Structure formats: C-alpha cells, structure tokens
Amino acid sequence: MKTIHHLAGQGIKDTLAEDDPLVPVLETRLAVALGGNTRFGSLGLRWPDAAVSRAGDTVSFRTNDVGGYGPLPLDPTLDVTVITARFARIPEYARTDELRQSRLIPCADQAREHLLTAPIPMDHWLTFETTINGRVHLLCEGRWHVVEGMRAEVIDLMARRSSPTFPASRATDEERSYRKRPACHPG
C-alpha cells in the first residue's frame, strides 16, 4: 500500500491549505465515498508512515467509538468495506468530521491490548482520489494534494484496481532472526 504514497509524492504539485476554497468541495466528495458510493472516486487503505514499520507485527486493530456505534471490527486485512459500511450509517454532512475524530491503532494481539503505535487518525489510513476540472486531487496522510501529469494517470489507475488485502500472519522468531542476518552470500 505504501506504493500509492510514493507514486503520489513524485507527482504532487501542491498541498492544499485547510482554508483553500476547493477543500469543502473535496470534503463533500469524500463524504459521499465514505458512505460507499464511488461516484466521485473510490477509497483505498494504506499503512500511514507512523505505522508502516509495524505492519508485520500487526494481528488486529483497535478503534475508538466510530459514529456512536462502537469500535470497528477490523482484522489485519483492513477491508475498506467495513469502514464504508460504518460511515454509511452516519449522516453525510457529519462523515468527514467523524473520520477526523476516529482513531485506528495496530495491535500485536487478538485481545487488542498490546498497542503497537499511538492512536492514528483514520484519515491517515485512507486514500481518496477525485478529479475536478481535469485536475486530480488526492487525500493522503490526512492532507489534500494536487497531482500532476503522468503521476495523476498512475494514481487514477491505482484507484480503479481492487483493494489489496494484508496477510493475517505474524513473523516468527526464526523469520525475525533471518531478517537481521547480514547479507553474506554473493548473489
């Protein structure tokens, strides 16, 4: 999932200020997508920079009370439909505020007691691309960006592919040990 961020990072022309007049239009489109409607673009999930190093250790996720309906039942596959199903229950006008108040935390155990990071705003886990007046706008790490040229086309292609899933396995002690060994064999 980190790929989306790197591709976008090379084609980002501008990061929009929170008071940019285009932000309310983008937020309205995001609210529609949060409800599961792909009319303006589809949502994607990605590991934010603050959590990507803990992806291999993650067994489950913990969330706060999202939309007044309790925690989200997320497993390591990070299925975006679980998120859109919850946000579809929230009035459209309140979805983006709720998104920014929601937190997601990777955990190292099924009981969701061993937290691997501090709480991370849920809008840092989502990506959303939409086109307005021929310009691609990308929500990534909770900020709106304008994407240009060939990178905009790549982002558009990435948005139209199916959401990837993450394996539900954890690295064993043997695998961790193997990863730490220096590369001492030519090849």
Whether pLDDT at 95 is above 60: yes
pTM of the model: 0.72
Query: Considering the domain boundaries, does residue 66 fall inside one?
Result: yes
pLDDT number for residue 139: 94
Query: Considering the domain boundaries, does residue 91 fall inside one?
Result: yes
Query: Considering the domain boundaries, does residue 83 fall inside one?
Result: yes
Query: Considering the domain boundaries, does residue 147 fall inside one?
Result: no
- How many Å separate Cα 100 from the centre of its chain? 12
Sheet containing strand 135-140, edge to edge, reads 12-15, 143-147, 135-140, 126-132, 43-45
| Tens-place pLDDT, residues 108-162 | 998 989 999 999 999 999 999 999 988 899 999 999 999 876 555 565 566 555 5
Query: Considering the domain boundaries, does residue 79 fall inside one?
Result: yes
Q: Which domain holds residue 94?
A: 1-10+44-120
The total of structural domains in the chain comes to 1
Of 51, 15, 22, nearest to 145 (Cα)?
A: 15
Query: Considering the domain boundaries, does residue 130 fall inside one?
Result: no
